[in-house]
Structure formats: structure tokens, C-alpha cells
């Protein structure tokens, strides 16, 4: 009976893995085909003619390389700034005693409930009046603002699960608040910080609406906006778009593999503490 259950479980996991990996396979083969193959009979099969020039065209003529660098700048700065700000603010909310900390935490969590569509018009007007529209800061500020609430919520919950005896022992040994935070608390929250960073990374890397509205120059465009610009008014090279999408997907996969162990530790710790 146990062997049968294992076989059933293995079959279910195999089906789930296939469902997860098939879109990636389809995207890669899609990027190496011509329009005739994509819309012909060979929709799901391997390409008859492997059009590697789609990648060369996307990188050289399509400007994907510049868009890719811009996305790295926006996303990298967003992850760093959000990580620094939220690790400190979540520590203050979860570990320190001060008035209105519950109110402040509620304000942070309310930020998750605000739809980006509702904030688009007033945000556009504010950024435009400040003279930041069309530059790096005009897009970086909204990315940081919308990345903070989720990160604060994740880190605050993790901080609350750490025993206070560790801090008390550090204070007895002469550690100050800042030194205790840097040398003791930060190493302990690395799994939760990695989890929050992945959410922040995905939110900034894949964001399209703000980037399309607040940026009007090719010099500052992000990768999703650049890929969208490949669609022509009358004809569209879908293989070229597929190549751009593969290039945009690779950093996401690499980031997950780099931080997957930390994410698993965070989930395990959360399950044990919960």
C-alpha cells in the first residue's frame, strides 16, 4: 500500500512539474521560430529552422541590451533600498516598545491593499510636478514605495518569532541597539530577507504599467516596455518578442536558484514557529 501511495504521489508531482516546465519549453521554442511556424501546424513542436538570429536582432537592433541594463538598475536599487529600510523599520515595530507602533504597522499593511491602478493618476501628477518624470528617480520612487509594505509584513512576522533572550544577552554584554541589530538580528533574518527580496525583485522586474506611463524615453525604458514596443502596427515578429521574453525570464530563474535555500529555510522556520 505504501509503495502504491508513493507511485501515485510521484505521478502527481510529475504532472505538476510538467505543467510548470511546459510554458518555459514553449517560450524557448517559440523564440526560435518564424511567424509561419508559430501560426502554422508546428505550434508546439521543435523548430524546423532554428532562428538564433532572433536573439541577435533583439539584442542589437531591438535595444534589448539597454532595456535589460535599465531593468537591472531599477530592480537592483529597489531591492537594496527596500531591504535596508524595511529591515530596520520592521525591527523597530517588532522588537521595540514605542507608542503607535501598531498604527504604523497597520499603515504599512494597508499599502498592500492599494491597487496600483488607483494610484497611477495622482502619482503621475506628483512625479510630473516634481520634475522627475522620464528619469530614473521618477520610476525608482514608486517601485520602492510599493515594495515596502509586503517586505515590512514578512520581516515583522519573522522578527516576532526570534526569542528576546538573545537580545537581552547581547545588551548585558555591552552591545548597543545598532550593534545588536547588525551583528545578531540581521544574520538571523537572512532567510526572511531573501524571501522579501524575491517578492520585491519580481514586482519591480516584471512591472509594466508604471514604466509605460512614467517613462517616455528609450534611454530609460525597462525591459517589459521594450519588449512591448516590438509589436508593430501592421506586422509583428513574434519570434523576436519570444527572444526578448526569454532574455527577461533568465534573471528571474537565476535569482530564484541563488536564493532558493534561504527561501526554504524561511518557510521551514515559519512553519515551526507558527
Catalogue all structural domains in the chain, each as residue range(s) with its CATH number.
64-273 (1.10.3720.10)
Say whether 2 sits in a helix, a strand or coil.
helix
Phi, psi of 51 (to 5 degrees): -90, 75
Q: pLDDT tens per residue, the chain (274 residues)?
A: 677 778 888 889 999 989 988 888 888 888 888 888 888 777 778 888 888 888 888 888 778 888 999 999 999 999 999 999 999 999 989 888 888 888 888 888 888 888 888 888 888 899 888 888 888 898 999 999 999 999 999 899 888 888 877 777 877 777 778 888 888 888 888 888 888 888 899 899 989 889 988 888 888 889 998 888 877 655 678 888 888 889 888 888 888 777 767 666 655 554 444 4
Say if residues 177 and 91 touch (Cβ distance below 8 Å). no
Using N-to-C axis directions, what is the helix angle for 116-129 and 136-160, rounded to 10°? 130
CB 205 within 8 A of CB 75: yes
Rounded to two decimals, the pTM is: 0.83
Amino acid at each position: 500500500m505504501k509503495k502504491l501511495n508513493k507511485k501515485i504521489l510521484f505521478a502527481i508531482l510529475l504532472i505538476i512539474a510538467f505543467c510548470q516546465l511546459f510554458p518555459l519549453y514553449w517560450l524557448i521554442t517559440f523564440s526560435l521560430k518564424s511567424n509561419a511556424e508559430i501560426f502554422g501546424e508546428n505550434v508546439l513542436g521543435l523548430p524546423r529552422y532554428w532562428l538564433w538570429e532572433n536573439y541577435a536582432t533583439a539584442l542589437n537592433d531591438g535595444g534589448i541590451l539597454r532595456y535589460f541594463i535599465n531593468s537591472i538598475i531599477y530592480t537592483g536599487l529597489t531591492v537594496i533600498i527596500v531591504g535596508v529600510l524595511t529591515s530596520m523599520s520592521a525591527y523597530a515595530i517588532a522588537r521595540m516598545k514605542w507608542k503607535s507602533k501598531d498604527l504604523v504597522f497597520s499603515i504599512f499593511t494597508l499599502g498592500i491593499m492599494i491597487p496600483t491602478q488607483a494610484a497611477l493618476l495622482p502619482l503621475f501628477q506628483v512625479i510630473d510636478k516634481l520634475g522627475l518624470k522620464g528619469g530614473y528617480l521618477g520610476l525608482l520612487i514608486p517601485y520602492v514605495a510599493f515594495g515596502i509594505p509586503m517586505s515590512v509584513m514578512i520581516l515583522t512576522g519573522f522578527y516576532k518569532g526570534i526569542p528576546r533572550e538573545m537580545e537581552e544577552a547581547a545588551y548585558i554584554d555591552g552591545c548597543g541597539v545598532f550593534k545588536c541589530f547588525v551583528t545578531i538580528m540581521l544574520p538571523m533574518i537572512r532567510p526572511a530577507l531573501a524571501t522579501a527580496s524575491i517578492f520585491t525583485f519580481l514586482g519591480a522586474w516584471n512591472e509594466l504599467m508604471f514604466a509605460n506611463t512614467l517613462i517616455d524615453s528609450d534611454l530609460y525604458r525597462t525591459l517589459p516596455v521594450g519588449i512591448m514596443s516590438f509589436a508593430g502596427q501592421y506586422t509583428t515578429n513574434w519570434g523576436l518578442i519570444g527572444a526578448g521574453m526569454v532574455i527577461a525570464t533568465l534573471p528571474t530563474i537565476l535569482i530564484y536558484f541563488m536564493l532558493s535555500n534561504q527561501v526554504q529555510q524561511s518557510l521551514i522556520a515559519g512553519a515551526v514557529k507558527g
